[in-house]
């Protein structure tokens, strides 16, 4: 390890920044995130540095060339000029005085280097490649930024607030470590991340008492929208909860690729439903969620699309409330928006549709009980979920209630996945299209003139048939 990683207390540091161009501005912006005192010396000042100096009392701006005495009373020096002779000179005199000096983009002249930072103060992650692979470091930072919640700083503040209380309640270092792992990784941590500190504090008090008594804390249910199929469309929060679940209850619409992202040692319970084949009745699914949570498990109810759009999430929540089980809901990209986007069919468009309706095409007793006259509107898009089996009825009813038989219609199977297939036609022709007969659920139906845009706006590499 060539460079020793260290975090320096900046409250009593006076930094010298030589140079005032855009490179210096980036260093100045970083320093301004600390309470450090900053002196900038340069004969020329960029607009960015001038704006920073005007806005901050931390900065003293000196408009002249560097003088050797400028390093007096400084503890840290950044050099960001385009004059190599000046840079080398400042390095040499600073090194002779045993001062920390960094010549930007010149690693041999650096007695310290600034790391790549993920800033969630008070939580700070600093990384370094020793100056040999800055692009790789930037890539790693981007990955970390995508998986670390933006408001994880709330967990840091919460931990600081209750640190002494937990220390007083649990004398063992090991006990405290296990307890904090449960807190930060469980529903208390989730409450903090949602900004509900009062609820989190109350839960921590209960958990601390339970932990001292050897009782397992109560579990919680997270209704998580898994989106239409492409794992890249998961929300950060959905992925985080999936990776810390004890039990995952999932349905048929959750793709194998998404299921692969679930915590490896989690118990996975399949409760999928197919046409005329309900593996587990909905009422039993509701009770199952409550039972697992009451046993102290973190339960993720993983649903294709969004839990509140034809996902029966409301019914499941009602049962959880009846049993006194805590829950949270994580929205997902619903099948309609996923299918439309990946098929190049905007659901609304200024020249085609100013409104959109999501409805079910589910057959019951060989019919579909909908307010058909209300669905037939001008400049409107219709999206039918679960309508493939009743496709002919849907087309006939729309035409019967005044929609032109030439109205464009699209069927999207396996939306957002590599096996996505799109079949287009009109209300009069789609049901008899041979390609339609080969489609299988889940297939979404989109009706409206916006379907005409598919031919030019389709960008995804799925299969297309017209």
Tell me the catalytic residues. Answer: 251, 273
CA-based radius of gyration for the chain: 30
208: its two tokens:
């601390």
Say if residue 448 is exposed, middle or buried (CB neighbours under 10 Å; 0-12, 13-18, 19+): buried
Say if residue 79 is exposed, middle or buried (CB neighbours under 10 Å; 0-12, 13-18, 19+): buried
DSSP 434-465: HHHHT--SSEEEEESGGGGGHHHH--S-SEEE
9: its two tokens:
């207390």
Hunting for tokens 């001062």 — which residue is that? 99
Instruction: Confirm if 61 and 40 have CB atoms less than 8 A apart.
Output: yes
Please list the alpha-helical segments (H only) found in 382-453: 391-400, 434-437
SS3 13: coil
- Contacting residues for 369 by C-beta, under 8 A, at least 6 apart: none
- 6 phi and psi angles, rounded to 5 deg: -155, 145
């Amino acid at each position: 390890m060539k460079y020793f990683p260290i975090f320096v207390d900046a409250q009593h540091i006076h930094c010298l920044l030589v140079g005032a161009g855009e490179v210096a501005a980036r260093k100045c912006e970083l320093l301004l995130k600390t309470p450090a005192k900053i002196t900038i010396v340069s004969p020329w000042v960029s607009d960015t540095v001038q704006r920073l100096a005007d806005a901050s009392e931390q900065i003293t701006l000196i408009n002249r060339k560097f003088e050797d005495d400028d390093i007096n009373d400084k503890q840290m020096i950044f050099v960001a000029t385009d004059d190599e002779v000046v840079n080398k000179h400042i390095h040499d005199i600073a090194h002779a005085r045993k001062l920390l000096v960094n010549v930007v983009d010149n690693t041999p002249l650096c007695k310290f280097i600034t790391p790549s930072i993920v800033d969630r103060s008070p939580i700070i992650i600093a990384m370094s490649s020793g100056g040999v692979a800055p692009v790789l470091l930037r890539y790693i930072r981007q990955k970390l930024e995508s998986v670390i919640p933006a408001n994880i700083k709330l967990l840091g503040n919460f931990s600081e607030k209750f640190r002494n209380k937990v220390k007083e309640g649990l004398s063992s270092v090991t006990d405290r470590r296990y307890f904090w792992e449960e807190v930060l990784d469980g529903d208390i941590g989730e409450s903090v991340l949602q900004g509900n500190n009062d609820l989190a504090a109350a839960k921590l008090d209960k958990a601390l008492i339970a932990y001292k008594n050897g009782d397992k804390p109560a579990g919680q249910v997270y209704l998580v929208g898994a989106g239409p199929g492409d794992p890249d469309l998961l929300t950060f929060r959905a992925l985080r909860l999936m990776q810390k679940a004890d039990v995952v209850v999932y349905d048929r619409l959750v793709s194998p690729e998404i299921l692969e992202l679930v915590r490896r040692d989690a118990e996975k319970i399949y409760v999928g439903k197919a046409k005329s084949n309900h593996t587990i009745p909905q009422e039993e699914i509701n009770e199952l969620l409550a039972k697992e949570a009451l046993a102290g498990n973190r339960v993720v109810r993983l649903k294709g699309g969004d839990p509140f759009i034809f996902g029966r999430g409301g019914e499941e929540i009602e049962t959880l409330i009846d049993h006194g089980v805590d829950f949270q809901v994580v929205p997902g990209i619903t099948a309609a928006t996923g299918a439309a986007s990946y098929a190049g069919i905007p659901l609304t468009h200024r020249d085609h549709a100013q409104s959109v309706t999501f409805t079910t095409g589910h057959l019951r007793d060989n019919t579909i009980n909908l307010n058909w006259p209300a669905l037939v509107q001008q400049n409107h898009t219709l999206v039918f979920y679960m309508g493939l089996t009743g496709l002919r009825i849907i087309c006939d009813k729309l035409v019967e209630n005044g929609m032109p038989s030439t109205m464009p219609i699209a069927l999207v199977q396996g939306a957002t996945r590599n096996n996505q297939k799109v079949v287009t036609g009109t209300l009069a022709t789609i049901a008899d299209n041979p390609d339609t007969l080969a489609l299988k659920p889940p297939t979404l139906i989109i009706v409206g003139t916006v379907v005409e845009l598919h031919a030019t706006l389709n960008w995804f590499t799925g299969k297309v048939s017209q």
